[in-house]
Amino acid sequence: MRERFGSATENFFTSGRACSCGGACRGVTVVEVLTAVSILLALAAVAADWIWQARLRHNEAAAVVSLRIIGAAEQIYFRTYDVGYSGNLRALGPPDSGAPSALAADLIPAALASGTSNGYQFNYAPGTLVTVSGGTAPVKKRVRPVVYSLTAVPARPKLSGVRSYYVDESGVIRFALAGAAGPFSPPISP
């Protein structure tokens, strides 16, 4: 076997053939190949971690943007329909057919109105209901929500996101690293 391939440092791919550069071709040893493969695997592991961290940051940033979109949609809904804030996220989404109305105002995308987006679950809760008099005689009584709260939690904690978020009619978005965010959680930086 040694005679066929030469010394132990020679590669079985070259087996002592002459190289185009005038000398003998050295080739690559198994140890060199294994070293190169182990370095590539280590780099791949580091890159995979970076990609995962980037995905988490993307999902969290997308959740904050979605909360801002929903907050702006709630303000438009409040002023446009004169019924207070919406009763649920579907009321802010597109109608199944026909023109927008208080039941489906077409202010946010359908995916967001469904309550899930970019690895986060959005939970909407209308707040205090107030009875208001309005209209002409006879006096009409309407019940309308004057506050709301919205939380965004990772659909798969630590896989789709780490932070949870909270926003209400004030528009201040708050976060928590452990557990659900609430009205007393710290606000995010603008």
User: What residue numbers bound the domain in which 114 lies?
Assistant: 55-176
Distance in angstroms (rounded) separating the CA atoms of residues 22 and 24: 7
Helix (H) or strand (E) holding 112: helix 110-113
Q: Which class for 147: exposed (0-12), middle (13-18), buried (19 or more C-beta within 10 A)?
A: middle
Establish if 19 belongs to a structural domain. no
Establish if 45 belongs to a structural domain. no
Could you identify the residue written with the tokens 């929500």?
145
Q: What is the pTM of this model?
A: 0.72
Establish if 90 belongs to a structural domain. yes
Residue 139's pLDDT band (cuts 50, 70, 90): very low
Establish if 31 belongs to a structural domain. no
Per-residue confidence (pLDDT) for residue 21, from 0 to 100: 63
**Which residues, other chains included, contact 147 with Cβ-Cβ below 8 Å and sequence gap of 6+?**
85, 126, 127, 128, 168, 169
The tokens for 54 are: 């980037």
Q: Write the pLDDT tens digit of every residue in 75-112.
A: 999 999 888 899 899 999 999 988 999 889 999 999 99
Give the count of domains, the chain: 1
181 neighbors 151 (Cβ within 8 angstroms): yes
Residue 164's pLDDT band (cuts 50, 70, 90): very high
Establish if 44 belongs to a structural domain. no
- Tell how strand 164-168 and strand 129-134 pair up: unpaired
Establish if 24 belongs to a structural domain. no
Q: How many distinct helices (H) and strands (E) make up the chain?
A: 3, 7
Establish if 187 belongs to a structural domain. no
Could you identify the residue written with the tokens 């606000």?
187
Mean pLDDT, to the nearest integer, of 16-20?
A: 57
Helix (H) or strand (E) holding 63: helix 30-81
Establish if 132 belongs to a structural domain. yes
